[in-house]
Chain A
Amino acid sequence: MTQLILFNVFNGLIVGAFYALMALGLSLILNLSGVINFAHGGFLALGGYMAYMLIPYIGFWGALVAAPFLTAFIGILVERVLIRRLYGRDPLYSLLLTFGLAYIFEDGTRFIWGAQSVPYQVPDWLMQPLSVDYFFLTGYRVFMMLLVGVAVSGLFLILSRTRLGMRIRAGTLDLETVSVLGVNVRVLRNLNFGLGIYLAGLAGVLAAGMLGLSPTVGTSLIMPSFVTIIVGGLGSLPGTLLGGLLIGVATGLTTVFFPSASEAVIYIMMGAILLIRPRGLLGEEGRF
């Protein structure tokens, strides 16, 4: 029993790390540009399929590095051509546009790579369990947790230490002033969007190795990412991280005791949070 609970808590942490990685990207875009990127899951799937295409040529490690960057590049293009036109308009329109993009991504990946999940090669030595007693601790899972940790630390370092990060944070608080101070806000939003999509792409490459790769992989992760942001607190990136891990573990634990509610539990958590603390765990008061 203890092992079962440990197994599911660990599983939950991994899933939660995905939610967090995806929700951090969503949050970045939402905070600076006020756009709910419904197509985020589509970008995630795209990242996975990019890696799948690249692995035969540049191997797993090469794809791990290259695929997120390629995805981010496509994200930057999409922002340039489509999403940029909708800044400052009613959020309804960006929501509908990215909603349409999500449809196109899902159907497009199905059209190109088929509806069935495709085989995805992870190096053999990574798939070995690290310990006989704790069979679920495969190298890949531990490696994934580490990588998510590195990515999140990297993101926070960028935001707190670099000029770009400082501008993103400042723009989140008051974009107009940042613009008046001579920062090119168009470029800033564009890069910020790319950064968010990079995280989605990375999550996609990692998720493909664990959840398998099918056109619906992104759609199944987008709703929990919304819940992550709401539970963690809108506008707070540490909150988003915390929210992701929390709902991941909650899902894991519910799987042990009441498996059929494992999907619904996160929405119940969201409802509870909204009742007790509408701004979310670490959200700032009065911002939304």
Chain B
Amino acid sequence: MGAFNNKRTADAAVWLVLLTAPFWMQWIGGYTELGSRVLVMALAAMSLNFLLGFTGVLSFGHAAYFGLAAYGAAMTIKYLVPSTPLGMLVGILVGTGAGAVIGAMIVKLRGVYFAMVTIAFGQVFYFITFRWNNVTGGDDGLTDWHRVPIDLGFTKLDILGNPELFYYFILFFFALSLALMTILLRSPFGRTLLAIRENERRARFLGIPVERHIWLSFVISCFFVSIAGTLYALLNNFVDPRALYWGQSGNFVIMAVLGGMRSFWGPLVGAVIFVVLQDYVSSHTENWESFIGLFFVLIVLFFPRGVLGIFKRKVAQ
């Protein structure tokens, strides 16, 4: 009973912190946009962790779907209809669709092979956005567009001019995605994914269609990361091919590992640390890449269970 209450309290505390963030961020040297970025990255890392931590499948190419969704949203708003919800819808469809097709091709592969193929596939979309200059803007990225305020009929949401409002706009989708993820993970389907993670062979002998479950988990994960991708495009009013680069995929994985990939909130903790550190370090030195590389190495060597993993172990003792 105590553990149950603790978990409830922790959940409530996390939501309270997220809900009040715009009010106290300035006091500790933050700014609202940083909070928005944390939310977007956290959503992406949690989406990846649906696959990584809860299905036990290592995808190292999630930036592809993240970036595709970002381009989908941006290009819709720029070329077709200046509408934020429509842009998001198209972006999510594009990202999830690509995930469904590629997922079907690779679902039979396992372990390192799976990881390697996901990395390599991610690069296709990178090169397409990089090369298709006249549509995607190539290396310079897609500029000259911005998110559009949303007209709800009775009121107008000025997400463009009001950063606090846009933070809550992102938080809304963040909460919605997390609620969906929780429902999925608590359902028989989610329990089956855990069973596959723990012992794939046994799951197969029990008659579980393992490939179909892994594919579904991959597509669901791509769906959520696509939501994050569209929000990322809206947040920056800009997309460039780096959103699809394998470095970005690596960042998502390290956020999940850093926070603790076996716990639900782990990737959020990882994203907070990563984004804040990135913001701080890259404004103080040009050698951000060496720093992040060292960061990766140190986490793997000394911190493989992540922040919440260590915390969990202490509680268990």
Contact = CB atoms under 8 A, between A and B. Distances in A.
Q: Output the residue of A97, A101, A106 with the most chain B CB within 10 A.
A: A97
Contacts of A100: 292-297, 300
A282 interface: no
A278 interface: yes
A161 B121 CA distance: 37
A274 B117 contact: yes
A104 B112 CA distance: 22
Contacts of A111: 287, 290
Contacts of A101: 293, 297
A288 B110 contact: yes
B300 A288 contact: no
A104 B295 CA distance: 10
A103 B106 contact: no
Given A34-B112, A274-B105, A99 B120 contact: no
Given A100-B292, A263-B131, A229 B116 contact: yes
A103 B115 contact: no
Contact of B250 (A82, A93, A96, A278): A96
A227 interface: yes
Nearest to A271: B105
A66 interface: no
B127 A263 contact: yes
Contacts of B290: 103-104, 107-108, 111
Interface stretch (A6-14, A84-92, A200-208, A238-246): A84-92
Interface in B19-61: 52, 58, 60
A96 to B, nearest CB: 5
Interface residues of B, number: 43
Contacts of B254: 96
Interface string A214-241: 0000000001001101100010000000
Contacts of A227: 120
B253 interface: yes
Contact of B119 (A108, A226, A263): A226
Query: Counting chain B CB atoms within 10 Å of each CB, which of A91, A100, A104 scores highest?
Result: A100
Nearest to B60: A95
B111, B113, B115, B295 pick with most chain A CB within 10 angstroms: B113
A261 B102 CA distance: 19
B79 to A, nearest CB: 20
B105 A230 contact: no
The main secondary structure of chain B at its interface with chain A is helix
Nearest to B119: A226
Contact of B120 (A30, A91, A93, A270): A270
Of B250, B294, B300, chain A has the most CB atoms within 10 Å of the CB of: B300
A106 B58 CA distance: 25
Contact of A267 (B121, B246, B289): B121
Interface string B251-271: 001100100000000000000
Contacts of A108: 290
Contact of A96 (B106, B110, B120, B300): B300
Nearest to A94: B300
B100 to A, nearest CB: 14
Interface in B86-136: 105-106, 108-113, 115-117, 119-121, 123-124, 127-128, 130-132
Interface residues of A, number: 44
A131 interface: no
Given A91-B112, A111-B290, A274-B106, A103 B301 contact: no
A103 B296 contact: yes
A230 to B, nearest CB: 6
A36 interface: yes
B117 A97 contact: no
Contacts of B124: 264, 267-268, 271
A191 interface: no
B85 interface: no
B132 to A, nearest CB: 8
Which of B111, B119, B247 neighbours the largest number of chain A CB atoms within 10 Å of its CB? B119
Please name the 4 residue pairs, one residue from A and one from B, whose CB atoms are nearest each other, closest first.
A100-B296, A103-B293, A104-B293, A107-B289
25 contacts: A30-B112, A92-B257, A93-B304, A94-B300, A96-B296, A96-B299, A99-B293, A100-B292, A104-B289, A223-B246, A226-B120, A263-B131, A264-B128, A264-B131, A267-B120, A267-B121, A270-B121, A271-B105, A274-B106, A275-B105, A278-B108, A288-B109, A288-B111, A288-B112, A288-B113
Given A90-B58, A101-B297, A226-B116, 20 more contacts: A92-B257, A94-B300, A96-B300, A97-B301, A99-B293, A99-B296, A102-B293, A103-B293, A104-B290, A104-B294, A107-B293, A111-B287, A223-B123, A267-B120, A270-B121, A274-B109, A274-B117, A288-B109, A288-B111, A288-B112
Interface of A: 30, 34, 36, 82, 85-86, 89-97, 99-108, 111, 223, 226-227, 229-230, 234, 260-261, 263-264, 267-268, 270-271, 274-275, 278, 288
